[in-house]
């Protein structure tokens, strides 16, 4: 047999029947005992399990059967790794059914618990033989409404591990058994606790129902994104007619007709007509955006007015919408380092609590109230009920889900929980000039020439050579030469970040920076006096040499984004140092940095050296975030502590950065960093509350003699539910908050 490790398969299984965070512990412990299961991670807020397994030993059907045996339900077929969740309609239907079932049980329990409590607590409602009525009212609550506790407790008991349902079940059963014995015993001892058993069932169900309702909101982001997809669209046929086809049949190159009110089914380019498009659910930018021919159109956006034709560039799983949904889902399933610790605590917590409850009962029976069995049992029950690790288990994942979901609302795509952690400790934000601070669409605003060359000669030579480059400066040179006859280019050569060269009409043309021309022994002194004023106003200057002699220069204007100045002001208000990074000249880069209010500039840096520079800054003790366009900045983004890319419409790229801004609005950077800070703050608050609650509640429930009082199981059930609700509600605040600055 080969010693080579097997190739593991990974799947995501949507789950039904998760009542609270303790269910994650049940499933993870139960599934890890199965042969072939290598790794299990259950995300309770998202209601799904990520499972790695050896396909030679098991398969999704067996895993789903094992999940059913544990008392839960898995939605099959499984979702392959990296694929979005199943249709939002199917998922929403299953969740609604589960929530309705939980509500019905809660309503049934509450209807019977209310009269039970009235009779047990108020003498005016009591009559001869009333304990028998309490038995009749409470027994259905315990064994019908509370049946789920017993089923899951039994499943755990059979597999030799303890879960939270086991704690609740023991408590309920103990109270009910004591009461039954007292009611039907020939000699009544007046220890009847039917109302305690009913109240525990009702309050635990109420807590889980409310928790489920709030959790539904935290997992709304992916459902909302996938709900933007449309089922059919109108394809324009070669003869000009239209045919309605399923979106699944749309391919790159197809022409589609989009009418007012319809959702765009694919990414592409508007080619005919005018429109206003609502992209707010994708980019976070409110209000419609006017579109003209040549503009990018994104799948999932809504056509507000006007009919238009578009040419498809990306369809299906290649659209920005599908990428966003995958990224948000992956981010919500990601983990912080602290979660490994909290998971280990939650795993051993339940058996420790069972031991503490037993010791508490023994102490009260043997020392505090010698011989009083019911009071000893009730005190032990209170410890069992109050000590639920749900708040601990929910503390981190609910905050991550709420934070990433809010990010999606704002057009901020966060790759994972680790990115949120890294975003909090930043000291410096480095902003790339072209495409980040500026619009990335430069125009030639000045043409300088030296005799015997004229303006047309410079534009013709620059426009011809620029045809081989996709750099924005090259696009500007081509646009400026529009209308001129451009000769063919031979021996084209590109110098990354510096310029280009080629043979045009038998003459060698070199276009680029001072450094490129200096490296070729070409002096630019003759044009310095004319170039410096341009650079002082933030213009970029490209020098043109023909046959080894300086011939002229192009001054390029790239407008600063309107959002840049306000965005930098917000970042500086957060205590961050702001630097501008560019391969442009020092004068140009400094002029832009001063204009936008940055603290400094890093100029004349070749692309190959940018990543090294960032690493050197990090070694000096700074924590660096680099903001680039995501297309030409992959290496420097990867070298930073946090890489942030500003997306370019349908050219959305997610692999090169930790965080992606769907909108080109630079204000998203401050929103993202503020969101990260608030999310980490929510995590800390949740963990503090969860551990504080348990460290306080268990001693109180045990009835420390110094306090002089005990906690009833009913109150303990309410406290336990409240602790989980506080954690989930605190995370939910992230969905409602604004993220303008720290």
More confident residue, 557 or 229: 557
User: Rounded to an integer, what is the distance from CA 242 to the centroid of its chain?
Assistant: 39
pLDDT at 572: 93
Convert the pLDDT of each residue in 637-682 to its tens digit: 878 888 888 864 434 445 567 888 877 778 888 888 999 899 999 9
Q: Say if 450 falls within a structural domain.
A: yes
Is 56 found in the same domain as 36? yes
Using pLDDT thresholds of 50, 70 and 90, give the confidence band for residue 2.
Answer: very low
The DSSP code for 78 is P
User: Rounded to an integer, what is the distance from CA 575 to the centroid of its chain?
Assistant: 25
Domain-terminating residue out of 314, 346, 378? 314
Q: Say if 124 falls within a structural domain.
A: no
More confident residue, 663 or 528: 528
Specify which residues 449 forms β-bridges with. 552
For residue 131, pLDDT beyond 90: no
For residue 77, pLDDT beyond 70: no
Residue 249: domain span: 230-262+266-314
Using pLDDT thresholds of 50, 70 and 90, give the confidence band for residue 327.
Answer: low
pLDDT at 257: 92
pLDDT at 651: 46
Is 74 found in the same domain as 41? yes
Count of domains for the chain: 4
Phi, psi of 6 (to 5 degrees): -70, 150
Is 34 found in the same domain as 87? yes
Q: How many residues does the chain have?
A: 742
Is 620 found in the same domain as 533? no
Domain-terminating residue out of 662, 683, 710? 662
Rg (CA), the chain: 33
pLDDT at 741: 42
pLDDT at 347: 67
More confident residue, 699 or 143: 143
Q: What residues have CB less than 8 Å from 79, skipping those under 6 apart? A: 11, 12, 13, 14, 85, 86
Is 285 found in the same domain as 434? no
Q: Say if 401 falls within a structural domain.
A: no
Domain-terminating residue out of 298, 314, 330? 314
User: Rounded to an integer, what is the distance from CA 404 to the centroid of its chain?
Assistant: 3
pLDDT at 85: 42
199/208 Cα distance (integer angstroms): 14
Q: Say if 211 falls within a structural domain.
A: no
Q: Say if 30 falls within a structural domain.
A: yes
Q: Say if 378 falls within a structural domain.
A: no
234/265 Cα distance (integer angstroms): 10
> Contact at 8 Å (CB) between 643 and 658?
yes
Using pLDDT thresholds of 50, 70 and 90, give the confidence band for residue 577.
Answer: very high
Cα separations (Å) of 317 from 79, 207, 314, 322, 464? 14, 39, 8, 5, 38
Is 567 found in the same domain as 633? yes
pLDDT at 69: 82
Is 308 found in the same domain as 250? yes
Mean pLDDT of 446-456: 88
The enclosing domain of 609 has a CATH number of 3.40.50.1000
Q: Say if 337 falls within a structural domain.
A: no
> Contact at 8 Å (CB) between 307 and 295?
no
390/402 Cα distance (integer angstroms): 17
Of residues 428, 476, 489, 423, the one with CA closest to residue 659: 423
Is 66 found in the same domain as 13? yes
For residue 274, pLDDT beyond 90: no
pLDDT at 227: 57
- Written as six digits, the tokens of 467 are 């045809």
pLDDT at 255: 92
3-state SS class at 351? helix
The enclosing domain of 281 has a CATH number of 2.70.150.10
Q: Say if 658 falls within a structural domain.
A: yes
For residue 742, pLDDT beyond 60: no
Residue with tokens 């089922």: 231
């Amino acid at each position: 047999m080969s010693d080579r490790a097997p190739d593991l398969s990974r799947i995501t299984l949507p789950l039904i029947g998760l009542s609270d965070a303790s269910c994650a512990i049940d499933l993870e412990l139960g599934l890890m005992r199965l042969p072939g299961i290598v790794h299990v991670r259950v995300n309770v807020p998202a209601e799904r399990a990520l499972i790695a397994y050896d396909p030679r030993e098991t398969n999704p059907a067996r895993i789903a059967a094992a999940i059913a045996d544990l008392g839960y339900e898995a939605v099959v077929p499984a979702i392959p790794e990296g694929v979005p969740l199943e249709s939002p309609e199917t998922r929403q239907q299953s969740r609604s059914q589960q929530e309705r079932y939980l509500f019905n049980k809660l309503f049934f329990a509450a209807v019977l618990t209310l009269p039970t409590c009235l009779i047990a607590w108020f003498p005016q409602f009591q009559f001869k033989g009333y304990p028998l009525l309490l038995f009749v009212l409470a027994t259905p609550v315990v064994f019908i409404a509370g049946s789920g506790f017993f089923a899951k407790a039994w499943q755990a008991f059979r597999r030799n591990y303890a879960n939270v349902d086991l704690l609740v079940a023991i408590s309920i059963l103990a109270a009910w058994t004591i009461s039954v014995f007292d009611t039907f015993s020939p000699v009544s001892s007046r220890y009847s606790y039917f109302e305690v058993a009913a109240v525990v069932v009702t309050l635990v169900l109420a807590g889980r129902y409310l928790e489920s309702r709030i959790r539904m909101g935290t997992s709304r982001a992916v459902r909302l994104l996938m709900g933007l997809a449309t089922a059919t669209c109108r394809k324009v046929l070669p003869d000009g007619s239209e045919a309605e086809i399923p979106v699944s049949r749309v391919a790159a190159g197809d022409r589609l007709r989009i009418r007012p009110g319809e959702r765009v089914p694919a990414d592409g380019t508007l080619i005919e007509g005018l429109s206003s498009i609502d992209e707010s659910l994708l980019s976070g930018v409110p209000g419609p955006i006017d579109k003209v021919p040549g503009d990018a159109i994104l799948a999932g956006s809504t056509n507000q007015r006007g009919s238009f034709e578009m040419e498809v560039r990306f369809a299906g799983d290649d659209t920005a919408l599908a990428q966003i949904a995958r990224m948000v889902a992956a981010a919500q399933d990601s983990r912080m380092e602290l979660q490994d610790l909290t998971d280990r605590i939650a795993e051993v917590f339940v058996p420790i609590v069972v031991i503490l409850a037993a010791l508490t009962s023994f102490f009260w029976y043997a020392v505090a109230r010698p011989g009083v069995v019911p009071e000893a049992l009730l005190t032990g029950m209170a410890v069992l009920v109050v000590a639920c690790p749900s708040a601990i288990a929910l503390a981190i994942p609910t905050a991550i889900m709420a934070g990433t979901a809010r990010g999606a609302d704002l057009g901020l795509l966060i790759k994972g929980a680790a990115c949120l952690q890294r975003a909090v400790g930043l000291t410096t934000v480095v902003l790339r000039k072209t495409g980040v601070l500026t619009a990335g669409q430069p125009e030639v605003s000045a043409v300088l020439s030296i005799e015997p060359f004229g303006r047309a000669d410079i534009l013709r030579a620059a426009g011809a050579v620029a045809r081989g480059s996709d750099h924005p400066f090259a696009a500007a040179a081509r646009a400026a030469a529009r209308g001129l006859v451009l000769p063919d280019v031979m021996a084209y050569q590109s110098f990354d970040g510096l310029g280009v060269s080629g043979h045009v009409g038998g003459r060698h043309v070199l276009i680029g920076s001072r450094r490129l021309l200096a490296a070729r022994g070409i002096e630019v002194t003759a044009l310095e006096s004319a170039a410096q004023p341009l650079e002082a106003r933030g213009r970029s200057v490209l020098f043109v040499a023909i046959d080894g002699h300086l011939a002229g220069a192009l001054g390029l204007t790239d407008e600063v984004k309107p959002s840049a100045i306000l965005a930098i002001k917000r970042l500086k208000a957060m205590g961050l140092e702001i630097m501008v990074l560019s391969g442009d000249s020092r004068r140009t880069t400094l002029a832009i940095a001063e204009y936008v209010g940055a603290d400094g500039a890093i100029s004349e840096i070749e692309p190959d050296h940018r990543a090294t520079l960032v690493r050197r800054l990090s070694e000096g003790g700074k924590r660096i975030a680099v903001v680039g366009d995501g297309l030409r900045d992959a290496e420097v983004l990867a070298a930073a502590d946090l890489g942030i890319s500003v997306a370019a419409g349908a050219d959305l790229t997610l692999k090169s950065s930790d965080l992606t801004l769907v909108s080109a609005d630079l204000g998203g950077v401050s929103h993202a960093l503020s969101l990260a800070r608030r999310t980490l703050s929510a995590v800390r608050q949740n963990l503090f509350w969860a551990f504080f609650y348990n460290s306080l509640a268990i001693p109180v429930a045990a009835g420390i003699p110094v306090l002089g009082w005990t906690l009833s199981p009913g109150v303990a059930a309410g406290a336990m539910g409240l602790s989980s609700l506080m954690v989930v509600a605190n995370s939910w605040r992230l969905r409602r908050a604004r993220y303008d600055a720290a």
